[in-house]
Chain A
Amino acid sequence: MEMSSILFYLLAAATLFFGFRTITVANPIFSALNLALTMITLAGIFFMLDAYFIAGVQLAVYAGAVMVLFVMVLMLFDLSGEARAFSRGMMSGILKVGGVSLFGIIVIATIMGSFSNILVIDSGEAAAGQALVQPTTRDLAVVLFSRYLLAFELLGLLLLVVAVGVVAVSRIKGGTHARD
């Protein structure tokens, strides 16, 4: 086996392991930390695919900023009550059954799809996508600002809406940033 494929299997195993731990650990802080590790190993996989920019952004934005915020907020609260509420009771039972059945649907669809070519992308389109996405950041930017410009701008608008909404909600509900 080549060096790169050994590295890939190691990273993939680590990603799966940390992802699994994220949903099985009872303590929310450990869960969030496992999710951060999942992000970091995922960034490693992006590195191996020569998608350096995505890997760097994955580290800086998800592992570095978003998960730090999550962990910070979790540390602010005493979560033993929540841990109990989500480990037994009717609501959590329904959620568990729902989660397992959704996962089952995904697994079945993947198996069916691999037999019947439903999920396989048209090979011509896949080749076109490969030709467009080059490892350099310059090409990524060109594709982002030409072919996918509308989607990109709409995503930006969505984020703006969320930001404005958060400010509005925090001002209505009182607290340190209340209007009066």
Chain B
Amino acid sequence: MGTDILEISINFAKMVAIFLLMVQLVPLLVWVERRGSALIQNRLGPNRVGPLGLTQLLADAVKFLTKEEFVPAKSHRFLFYLAPIVALLPAAVAFNAIPLSHPIEVEAFEWLGHTWGPYTFLFQGYEIGIGIVFVLGVSSLAAYALLLAGWASDNKYSLIGALRASAQMISYELALGLSIVGILLVFNTFSFSEMVSQQVGPLSFMFFGQEVSIPFLPNWGIFFQPLGAILLLAAVFAETNRLPFDLPEAEAELVAGYHTEYGGIKMNMFYIGEYGHMLVASALMVTFYFGGYHIPFITPDQINEFFSGRGHGATQASLLTALVLHLSFFAKIAVFLWVFVWVRWTLPRFRYDQLMDLGWKTMLPWALANTIITAILVLMMRSSWS
């Protein structure tokens, strides 16, 4: 955690800040979703409250918080209240493990008659060596929220929704896990930070033991693993339970699926969980396949030098570099969040057997083939052929 009280408290504050960042992004995403769906369906969407309808979010929050507290008479009260909280946690814990920007180097400084530092603050909640395994493990716990909600409500629609959800999540977790094995083989690491640091500069790789460099393309994972990227994108759609994979809450068949009996802030927490999973999924896509927080063709050192050249101190320059790279990361994430919204309002829902066929008979074999071919190619390309 840290060596002294200042470092420990800043690291704690960082975790809370990232959690709040996730929660605060949700209303904005809801606005994007509603305005985006209106754009796609050729209508206006919420535009009356405030500029562009932006304060609609505030009005919605007040509405959610002041709604009547309702619990079904025959439900399991404890599990009924627990489920929304469980929905919120996995996304928050997983999002904290993803690096959002370059680490900030703080030089030693004097404050309150004491010399502090030097410190290195990572721009993430906590760094875990096994990165992706941890994120997969934690986000697989999200299925419990849907199961608990569906069962505790004591409602047939809820239960069917929950059972569909868990079957779907287990099926697609397999494809999700296998689709990223290829990129793990290419980067040769589990750690997010190492993956990101390998994606700096122009595209360069080993071709039968010889180093090849293509100067006009960035060194992103997508150029090594295009199939893996497509499979991962499809699998995270299923894991976030959004259209075309939203069978757990198919409104034409199940009223609202697992959260039929929930209202007010409790239902809102399921929404925060869902959007949190979208954030984690987008962050994973960016970290694996689109260079993480790096700006193409510019290294963090160059940005740092740029700021130092303008008369900023080392600490300040490092801070500004991290902020610039953070903006680059969020610009990339925003693209994927928009893809989530776009797909939701464009594609129809799958039938249940189509969903299972896609998961088990299409994505799983392709992911397996991708893994094996990548392993053979990595071995062939990296060994010396002279």
A interface, CB within 8 angstroms of B? 29, 33, 36, 40, 43, 52-53, 55-60, 63-65, 68-69, 71-72, 75-76, 135-137
Contacts and interface: CB of A to CB of B under 8 A. Distances in A.
The CB with the most chain B CB atoms within 10 A, among A29, A43, A68, A69, is that of A68
Q: Contact residue range for chain B?
A: 20 to 34
A29 B150 CA distance: 13
19 contacts: A29-B151, A33-B144, A40-B141, A52-B129, A53-B190, A56-B133, A56-B134, A56-B137, A57-B137, A59-B134, A60-B137, A60-B177, A65-B170, A68-B166, A68-B169, A68-B170, A71-B144, A71-B166, A137-B129
The CB with the most chain B CB atoms within 10 A, among A55, A57, A65, is that of A65
B200 interface: no
Contacts of B144: 33, 36, 68, 71
Nearest to A27: B76
Report, nearest first, the 8 A-B pairs whose CB atoms are least far apart: A64-B140, A59-B137, A56-B133, A60-B137, A52-B130, A72-B166, A56-B137, A68-B143
A137 B141 contact: no
The CB with the most chain A CB atoms within 10 A, among B137, B144, B167, B177, is that of B137
Contacts of B30: none
Nearest to A67: B144
The CB with the most chain B CB atoms within 10 A, among A33, A52, A60, A137, is that of A60
Contacts of A53: 130, 133, 190
Given A63-B140, A68-B144, A69-B170, A75 B163 contact: yes
The CB with the most chain B CB atoms within 10 A, among A29, A55, A72, is that of A72
B15 interface: no
B311 to A, nearest CB: 42
Contacts of A59: 134, 137-138, 140-141
Given A52-B133, A137-B129, 17 more contacts: A33-B144, A43-B137, A52-B130, A52-B134, A53-B130, A55-B137, A56-B133, A59-B134, A59-B138, A60-B133, A63-B140, A71-B147, A75-B151, A75-B159, A75-B162, A75-B163, A136-B129
